[in-house]
Amino acid sequence: MTTVESSPLGKPVSYGSTHDPSLLHPITRAPLRAALGIADALPFVGVDLWNAYELSWLDARGKPRVALAELRVPAASTNLIESKSLKLYLGSFAQTRLDSSDALRAQLVADLSAAAGSPVTVVLTSAQTAPPHEVLSGELIDDLPLDIHHYGPPRADFIAVDPERRVEETLVSHLLKSNCPVTGQPDWASLQIHYAGARLERDGLLRYLVSFREHAEFHEACVERIFVDLMARATPTRLSVYARYTRRGGIDINPYRCSPGMLLPGNPRTARQ
């Protein structure tokens, strides 16, 4: 069962506390991408980078341990993992005894890779050594003096370029907001766009990003929509789109999509995270 409707999202659930990989709910990416006109040959590479802040288990002597988990799910994986099911799954370790953090990491890799249908990488970090906040590099476009009246659905026709000016640059906005397609809860994000090609018109780009404000779509699909729309309207030679979403339920999701050949990102935890 890999549909949104069959997931635990938006439904009352019981919270178990012993390891249970059956709690993970994969959702097939193909139908979400078909709606964007994306076929089997993906126009991008990338990763869904998740940070989980509520992970605890018992060591061999029964003493609780905690860690932060960085999970990287390849964009080419068959499935994404529904976020509430991941929260429930991680919570199921709370009373589970494991010999070491390495044993925990191995179990996470096995379970998450099976759910995603592709190898998932896991890095565990001590809460004592969590990285400091960073600032997304790039030109901030949020303070442009604009009148805006459209908040959904997304309007790709807002995107425009100056064909006489060729640039390579990075643009940043903290104004991306969309809504969960099941619960209607708001999803807030900072967005970093790097591209090479005809210069993007800032006014149109900001209006386009704000047009997601009342739109209902998963984090990953929003980023893929932005990537596809920018490629179609601006035709850059290189493009990357990186969204850093604020956390919900102790987890933040940070999808990254880029042109083939570009490097995959670091994990710059921002002030909003």
Has 187 been annotated as catalytic?
yes
Annotated catalytic residue, options 40, 111, 143, 187: 187
The token duo for 116 is 């995603």
Residue showing tokens 């047009």: 211
Residues in CB range of 252: below 8 A, 6 or more apart:
50, 51, 244, 245, 246, 273
Contact 224, 44 (CB under 8 A): yes
Please report, for residues 110, 136, 181, 237, the alpha-carbon distance to residue 104 in angstroms, rounded to integers and kept in the order given. 10, 31, 32, 42
Contact 40, 225 (CB under 8 A): no
Residue showing tokens 């004592």: 128
Annotated catalytic residue, options 180, 222, 229, 258: 180
Cis ω on the peptide bond leading into residue 145 (within 30° of 0)? no
The token duo for 54 is 């509520």
The token duo for 89 is 């799954």
Catalytic residues: 180, 187
